[in-house]
Amino acid sequence: MKKPLYVSLANAIKNNISKHQYQTMKLPDERTLAEEFAVSRSSIKRAIQLLADQGIIFKKQGSGNFINPLFLRNKTALDYTGDNVGLTTSIVTNGKQQQIEVLNLDVVKPDAAIKENLFLTADDFVYSFKRLRKLDEVPILIEQSYIPVKVFPQLSKKLLEHSLFNYLEDQENTIINRAYLDVTTEPSSVEDQDLLHLKTTEPVGIMAGIFFVDDGTPFEYSSMRLHYRYLNFSTFVNLGK
């Protein structure tokens, strides 16, 4: 589990920025940095690319690399770790305890939309299940999911009572680490209001999408209806090079 050089370099540069090592909002140029750290310019470039992907710095060809002022002010919002891709999509948990209530589990014939989303042929069956997630016993999210029987036949109600993805990673050596997600919002339905304790005027946020195993196999189609206070989606949009 050795970290690549460029990750260490990126961390070193990040530290220097945090400690206001650089007097201006501009980093030293890449050739100078390469000399200072005694590495090739390519490695510096890779490190800087990483920082740019994380929104910590902005690159501007011909002019230099610039520190994102947001990073200086509010490090936590940008302090990514490990494999993060520069996008934070999260249910605001604040370290509270999570509970899962399994509302139902069935095997059904998928309708056309589900079939298309999971790339199934006519004969495939899917598990269909609904779960209610809570934080410190406060309900925050209704999840309706579909998983093809053939990709995970051993699914059971017992397994659903805890995080499926953690189980897969720990017990089955299968990592679900890609997803295509669609975020929208809608007025709450009667069921939403009931389960999530919402007033009629209060909406739900919806996150729906396909989750993939890392070799591209579609694993699950899921539609999550969130209590509106728990939908929060932060991201950098970075159209610069």
The binding site for its own copies (CB under 8 A) comprises 25, 55, 58, 60, 63, 66-70, 73, 77, 83-85, 87, 89, 116, 119, 175, 177-188, 199-203, 205, 210, 212, 214-216, 218, 228, 231-241
CB of 9 to its own copies, least distance (A): 17
**Interface residues toward DNA, by CB under 7 A:** 1-2, 4-6, 27, 29-32, 39-43, 45-46, 48, 59-65, 215, 241
* Residue 218 three-state SS: strand
What does 222 interact with, of DNA, its own copies, none (CB < 5 to 8 A by kind)?
A: none
Asked if 146 and 219 count as a contact pair (C-beta separation under 8 A), the reply is no
Smaller CB separation from DNA, 54 or 65 = 65
What does 79 interact with, of DNA, its own copies, none (CB < 5 to 8 A by kind)?
A: none
CB of 175 to its own copies, least distance (A): 8
- State how far the Cα of 22 lies from the Cα of 101, in Å rounded to an integer: 51
Smaller CB separation from DNA, 30 or 124 = 30
Smaller CB separation from DNA, 18 or 217 = 217
Burial label, 17 (beta-carbon count in 10 A; 0-12, 13-18, 19+):
buried
- State how far the Cα of 25 lies from the Cα of 153, in Å rounded to an integer: 55
Smaller CB separation from DNA, 40 or 104 = 40
- State how far the Cα of 133 lies from the Cα of 125, in Å rounded to an integer: 25
CB of 174 to its own copies, least distance (A): 12
CB of 56 to its own copies, least distance (A): 11
CB of 147 to DNA, least distance (A): 20
Contacts 24+ apart (CB under 8 A), 1-10: 5/39, 5/43, 6/43, 6/46, 6/47, 6/50, 7/47, 7/50, 9/37, 9/39, 9/43, 9/44, 9/46, 9/47, 10/47, 10/48, 10/50, 10/51
Q: Is 173 left (phi over 0), alpha (psi -120 to 50) or beta?
A: left
What does 145 interact with, of its own copies, DNA, none (CB < 5 to 8 A by kind)?
A: none
Give the residue among 202, 14, 178 at the shortest CA–CA distance from 83: 178
Smaller CB separation from DNA, 1 or 190 = 1
CB of 45 to DNA, least distance (A): 6
Smaller CB separation from DNA, 62 or 95 = 62
Give the alpha-carbon dihedral of 217, 238, 186, 209, to 10 degrees: 0
